[in-house]
Amino acid sequence: MATRREVRCRCGRRMWVQPDVRTVQCSTCHTVTQLYSLVDIARGANRIIHGFQQLLRQHQPQHQYHEQQQQQMMAQPPPRLLEPLPSPFGKKRAVLCGVNYKGKSYSLKGCISDAKSMRSFLVQQMGFPIDSILMLTEDEASPQRIPTKRNIRKAMRWLVEGNRAMDSLVFHFSGHGSQQKDYNGDEIDGQDEALCPLDHETEGKIIDDEINRILVRPLVHGAKLHAVIDACNSGTVLDLPFVCRMERNGSYEWEDQRSVRAYKGTDGGAAFCFSACDDDETSGYTPVFTGKNTGAMTYSFIKAVKTAGPAPTYGHLLNLMCSAIREAQSRLAFNGDYTSSDASAEPLLTSSDEFDLYATKFVL
């Protein structure tokens, strides 16, 4: 219901009227008062200003008028050369990072392909609008889309900006992961996990404390983030407080890694991370799945979601992913090929909260 507003008559009597009332009569002195809304006042002011400008133009020499117009145009800022980021507002949006580190001694071969595969999957299978997906790879033409430390940070902030209930957010990274010494004492093993942007040699890595602060903590009630991290040492790279330890028979336990030094949860939302391996393990890429180098984690995630049927549980999905990785390991061992993958590790799930793995549906 609209809020009533107060009107005071000339005789001093106070009256309360609805916002859309235009005249009111005082019950004491019977004076009729004309009322105006702020919109009416603004429109009247605009008409007066427009009329005054027209009058000036009529009496101003033509050359002076054109000089003023040119000066106003010169005072305007030049057009932006960099491509603006898409609007962050929407039910589904994603940031996909693929870093091959071209020309480096530690270059990778399948990470850009992983990002492109994830984009196709999100658009074709999960209904993500193509213009709500931000790609950062070395193949991108825009300087803003190169996976530097600054651009990845900016993209992560864009992903969660203004997040609302029912938003589905996806963060995917395929590239190098690493560990470094924990300096604030919030890690059980004394090591921070980190992602390596393209320019990490000069600008540094993006450590889990910062990733958690940017991606996880701003999530409001009803918003959901899924991260898929195809990198070494990536188990707890989002610093989520609960780690799922699953056995080969499908049984599992939640490991509580909450820190007494810092809050690592959300602002009421939900965050899940599928990582390629545990913090002390390595991951890799392999041609076993598709005939070309593919991140084992990215491929197994996409395949599991496609084959699991509508709305699988997290437990079903994780079991399918682990089975795909074990199949790849067996085929590599049979062929005697251990050079293309270190895929001895299995996917790891971490979460902002404990939940029943076989009762909770996975929905993007």
Which residue matches tokens 């990470």? 111
Query: Crossing angle of helices 296-307/314-335, nearest 10°?
Result: 130
User: By CB neighbour count within 10 A (0-12 exposed, 13-18 middle, 19+ buried), where does 73 fall?
Assistant: exposed
Structure tokens at 47: 């008409």
Three-state DSSP class for residue 275: strand
Which residue matches tokens 């030049």? 78
Catalytic choice (172, 176, 226, 316):
176
Identify whether 200 is a catalytic site residue. Answer: no
* Euclidean distance between CA atoms 224 and 202, whole angstroms: 33
- The four Cα atoms 137, 296, 216, 192 give a dihedral, to 10 degrees, of -90
Judge whether 116 and 98 are in contact, CB under 8 Å: yes
Catalytic choice (232, 244, 273, 322):
232
Q: Could you tell me the CA-to-CA distances from 167 to 132, 220, 226, 269 in Å, in that order? A: 12, 10, 11, 10
* Euclidean distance between CA atoms 206 and 225, whole angstroms: 19
Q: Which residues are CB-neighbours of 302 under 8 A, at least 6 positions away? A: 117, 118, 121
Which residue matches tokens 């903590």? 217
Identify whether 176 is a catalytic site residue. Answer: yes
The residues annotated with a catalytic role in the active site are: 176, 232
